[in-house]
């Protein structure tokens, strides 16, 4: 892969001269590692040298300066006297030294700008060669893990010193047709997409089109939040660091392909927060959707076009795409699978294109290796080094205590699209991704110059994270831990606990109760401005509920509470409870459901029958009615009725259900039109707190 060559400080760009005693020039070829002895510190350097047809080439890496594989020029070898130089460097930095008799050490003095410091280099294996040797036998561990954790297939890319040292597919991308996984096999990478969205915003910062700390409303004028104060203060940085004050509210978008990104962002105005802005870290997909939409508003291009132009094309990620539909048109894509009751079976693709900025990308391990190489400083990415560093800088500490059983993984923070969590004391950034049938995990250790991509075609499997730890232990020479075996034991315990919990589900159920109404009375549409519409239907002798095109049968639980029963084609709503609500007249007026556990149950108000907003039908209800000693006039204005009484304000009538209307602004006042068999108004009843008054059509 090509690498970025950023400008360096005093010692970040070097000209090297090495002189020594007589020794074969060929002994210089290879990898050299060592340091310059600066006052009070060592500046570590790596040098690679090669001779081809009598011409010497080489490069130098200075990890502390972020310089990687800088090319050497003007290399001259005269016996043991060797010169390495980098042209056009201020201060004329030069190394002069001696090649030891055994050819294993180069030592001498480094000079730059009139100052000299000792240096020493030792011949040895290159980081790439060492990494490949450390991974010997890793395949055996992967195959064992696939079998024991029942994962159909896995694609792996491991990088060392900026290049892949392992790029391989394991198992099957299609179990039924026995098709193997390859490094190019497309997997859904889920929420690891979020780092791409943050990266795009970073490029806009570089172009002066975006300020991380400017209010979002500066870029999206009609942006609204439930919390007005937060609405005015929230910034792009808040969107990509999960600190907007909102819990997930995922049912707003899950399986809802009908809404545009603009419409989804507009729904934020109706979603209840549970924390103040920046009070705590809370994972939120809708915030990252908004970040992607923000980029669209600034550039005038779609999020897909922004990612393609600013990431995929510069990095050569030619196989990656943005939708499961596109993946299924490709020659090499993985099917998704899930495990239920110990059996692994196909899981349907879940289209989430409108939520793309939060997680819709599909890619193979080979393309994702290019993405991780860019995070480690490889060239090609259209972003400034300082901006990339800011994307990797922790912004919020997770309010989650570390697992005492895993001291290797202490408290985590969140940067911009990346979790920052050390592993055994080594600085590490990572992110996982889960979407129906797929689990992804990507990570990199910038100070160790290591990167990892692990893509599995099984729903919510721990395998990618576990194998990343196994690989790190090997590459860093750390004492191994049986991550796979421990995970299997833990999974067995959790599966047993889940089975036992299911047996006890009825404990919280009140036996011997029945619904307050006939089932037909619950049928209707129930709406919430943020979550949309829930449709309740009567199918045979059972109710069913549909939200976001997911239909689930309802079983009576107790009183007016119903449960989403097993057996739905899409089990996403299984075991969700809904409670039907009554108004003061005893009518079913709404339903409530715990669709977001971090806030109060969300209430969906029952929508009136469609004809109650139909001007043609409403016109049949207009006219004058004799009410006691006054005449009540019902008029049509647009698609609404109004009631006019002598000496009183005009009241708008709010449709409820059947032919019932409430007086707007008057609690406890309503009107009901009683129709004959031909649909004509027979009488009109006005309900007030002190009684019910009957009116007949005026003659």
Q: Are residues 361 and 453 in the same domain?
A: yes
Q: Are residues 184 and 54 in the same domain?
A: no
Give the pLDDT score at 20: 33
Give the pLDDT score at 19: 32
Examine residue 141 and state whether it is found in any structural domain, yes or no: no
286: which residues sit within 8 A by CB, 6+ positions away?
246, 248, 249, 252, 253, 264, 265, 268, 271, 358
Q: Are residues 616 and 595 in the same domain?
A: no
Q: Is 658 left (phi over 0), alpha (psi -120 to 50) or beta?
A: left
**Long-range contacts, stretch 263-269, CB < 8 angstroms, 24+ apart:** 264/289, 264/354, 264/355, 265/220, 265/223, 265/289, 265/290, 265/293, 266/222, 266/224, 267/529, 267/530, 267/531, 268/223, 268/224, 268/225, 268/226, 268/530, 269/224, 269/225, 269/226, 269/529, 269/530
Tell me whether residue 491 is exposed, middle or buried, using C-beta atoms within 10 angstroms of its C-beta: 0 to 12, 13 to 18, 19 or more. middle
Examine residue 151 and state whether it is found in any structural domain, yes or no: yes
Residue 575 and residue 563 in contact, taking contact as beta carbons nearer than 8 Å: yes
- Comparing CA positions, the residue from 676, 695, 675 lying closest to residue 686 is 695
CATH number at residue 77: 2.40.128
Low-confidence ranges of the chain (pLDDT < 50): 1-24
Examine residue 378 and state whether it is found in any structural domain, yes or no: yes
- Comparing CA positions, the residue from 541, 536, 540, 507 lying closest to residue 522 is 536
Give the pLDDT score at 2: 42
Side-chain-facing half-sphere of 95: CA atoms under 13 Å: 34
In degrees and rounded to multiples of 5, residue 389 shows phi and psi of -60, -35
Q: Are residues 115 and 236 in the same domain?
A: no
How does 523-558 read in b/e, with b if 16+ C-beta sit within 10 Å?
ebbbebebbbebebeeeeeebbbebbebbbbbebbb
Q: Are residues 43 and 175 in the same domain?
A: no
Q: Are residues 536 and 472 in the same domain?
A: no
Q: Are residues 270 and 409 in the same domain?
A: yes
Give the pLDDT score at 399: 83
Examine residue 79 and state whether it is found in any structural domain, yes or no: yes
Q: Where would I find the H helices in 476-578?
A: 483-503
User: Where among 558, 591, 606 does a domain terminate?
Assistant: 606
Alpha carbon distance 658, 51 (integer Å): 90
Give the pLDDT score at 133: 94
Q: Are residues 602 and 625 in the same domain?
A: no
Q: Are residues 601 and 681 in the same domain?
A: no
* Assigned token pair, 344: 């692994």
Indicate the number of domains in the chain: 4
Examine residue 512 and state whether it is found in any structural domain, yes or no: no
Q: Are residues 366 and 473 in the same domain?
A: yes
Examine residue 677 and state whether it is found in any structural domain, yes or no: yes
Q: Are residues 396 and 478 in the same domain?
A: yes
364: which residues sit within 8 A by CB, 6+ positions away?
155, 182, 183, 184, 185, 186, 187, 319, 320, 332, 455
Examine residue 506 and state whether it is found in any structural domain, yes or no: no
Query: How many other C-beta atoms can be found within 10 angstroms of the C-beta atom of residue 600?
Result: 10
User: Where among 576, 606, 636 does a domain terminate?
Assistant: 606
**Domain interval for residue 46:** 17-124
Give the pLDDT score at 51: 81
CATH number at residue 579: 2.40.128.50
In degrees, rounded to 5, the angle at the alpha carbon of residue 412 between the alpha carbons of residues 433 and 486 is 70
Give the pLDDT score at 24: 47
What kind and span of H or E run contains 81?
Answer: strand 81-85
Give the pLDDT score at 106: 84
Give the pLDDT score at 87: 65
Task: Specify the pTM.
Answer: 0.86
Q: Are residues 196 and 211 in the same domain?
A: yes
Give the pLDDT score at 439: 98
Examine residue 60 and state whether it is found in any structural domain, yes or no: yes
* Assigned token pair, 487: 């995970």
């Amino acid at each position: 892969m090509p690498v970025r060559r950023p400008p360096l400080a005093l010692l970040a760009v070097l000209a090297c001269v090495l002189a020594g005693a007589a020794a074969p020039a060929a002994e210089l070829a290879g990898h050299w590692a060592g340091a310059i002895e600066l006052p009070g510190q060592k500046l570590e350097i790596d040098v690679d040298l090669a001779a081809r047809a009598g011409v010497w080439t080489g490069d130098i890496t200075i990890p502390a300066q972020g310089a990687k594989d800088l090319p050497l020029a003007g290399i001259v070898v005269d016996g043991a006297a060797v010169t390495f130089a980098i042209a056009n460097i201020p201060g004329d930095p030069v190394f002069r030294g001696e090649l030891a008799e055994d050819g294993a050490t180069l030592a001498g003095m480094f000079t730059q700008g009139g100052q000299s410091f000792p240096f020493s280099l030792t011949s040895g294996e290159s980081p790439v060669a060492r990494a490949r040797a450390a991974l010997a036998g890793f395949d055996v561990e992967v195959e064992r893990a696939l079998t024991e954790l029942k994962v159909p297939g896995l694609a792996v890319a491991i990088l060392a010193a900026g290049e892949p040292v392992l790029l391989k597919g394991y198992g099957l991308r299609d179990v039924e047709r026995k098709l193997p996984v390859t490094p190019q096999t497309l997997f859904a990478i889920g929420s690891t997409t979020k780092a791409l969205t943050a990266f795009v915003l970073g490029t806009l910062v570089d172009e002066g089109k975006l300020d991380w700390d400017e209010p979002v409303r500066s870029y999206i004028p009609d942006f609204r939040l439930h919390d007005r104060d937060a609405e005015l203060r929230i910034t792009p940085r808040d969107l990509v660091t999960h600190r907007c004050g909102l819990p997930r509210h995922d049912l707003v978008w899950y399986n809802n392909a009908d809404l545009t990104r603009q419409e989804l962002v507009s729904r934020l105005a109706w979603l209840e927060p549970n924390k103040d802005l920046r009070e705590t870290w809370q994972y939120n997909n809708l915030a990252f959707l908004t970040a992607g939409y923000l980029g669209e508003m600034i550039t005038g291009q779609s999020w897909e076009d922004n990612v393609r132009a600013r990431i995929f094309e510069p990095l050569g990620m030619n196989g990656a795409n943005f939708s499961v539909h596109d993946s299924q048109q490709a020659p090499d894509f993985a099917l998704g699978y899930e495990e239920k009751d110990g059996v692994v079976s196909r899981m349907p693709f879940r289209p989430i294109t409108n939520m793309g900025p939060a997680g819709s990308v599909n890619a193979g391990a080979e393309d994702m290796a290019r993405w991780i190489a860019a995070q480690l400083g490889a060239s090609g990415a259209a972003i400034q080094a300082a901006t990339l560093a800011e994307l990797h800088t922790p912004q919020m500490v997770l309010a989650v205590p570390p697992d005492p059983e895993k001291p290797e993984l202490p408290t985590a923070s969140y940067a911009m699209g990346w979790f920052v969590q050390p592993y055994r004391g080594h600085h590490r950034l990572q992110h996982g991704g889960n979407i129906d049938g797929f689990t992804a995990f990507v990570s990199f250790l910038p100070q160790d110059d290591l990167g990892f991509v692990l893509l599995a075609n099984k729903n919510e499997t721990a395998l990618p994270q576990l194998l990343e730890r196994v690989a790190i232990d090997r590459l860093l020479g750390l004492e191994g831990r049986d991550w796979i075996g421990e995970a299997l034991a833990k999974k067995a315990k959790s599966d047993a606990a889940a089975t036992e919990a299911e047996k006890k589900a009825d404990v919280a159920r009140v036996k011997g109760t029945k619904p307050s109404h006939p089932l037909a009375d619950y049928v209707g549409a129930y709406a919430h401005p943020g979550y949309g519409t829930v449709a309740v239907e009567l199918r045979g002798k059972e109710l069913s509920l549909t939200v976001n095109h997911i239909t689930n049968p309802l079983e009576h639980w107790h009183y007016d509470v119903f449960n989403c029963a097993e057996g739905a084609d899409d089990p996403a709503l299984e075991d969700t409870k809904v409670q039907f609500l009554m108004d003061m007249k005893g009518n079913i007026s709404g339903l409530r459901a715990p669709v977001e556990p971090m806030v109060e149950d969300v209430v969906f108000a029952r929508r009136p029958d469609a004809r109650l907003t139909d001007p043609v039908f409403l016109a049949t209800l207009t006219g004058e009615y004799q009410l006691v000693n006054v005449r009540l006039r019902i008029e049509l204005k647009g698609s609404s009725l109004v009631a006019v009484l002598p000496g009183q304000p005009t009241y708008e009538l709010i449709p409820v259900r059947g032919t019932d209307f409430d007086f707007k602004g008057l609690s406890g006042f309503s009107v009901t039109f009683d129709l004959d068999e031909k649909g004509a108004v027979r009488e009109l009843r006005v309900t007030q707190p002190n009684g019910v008054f009957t009116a007949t059509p005026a003659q």
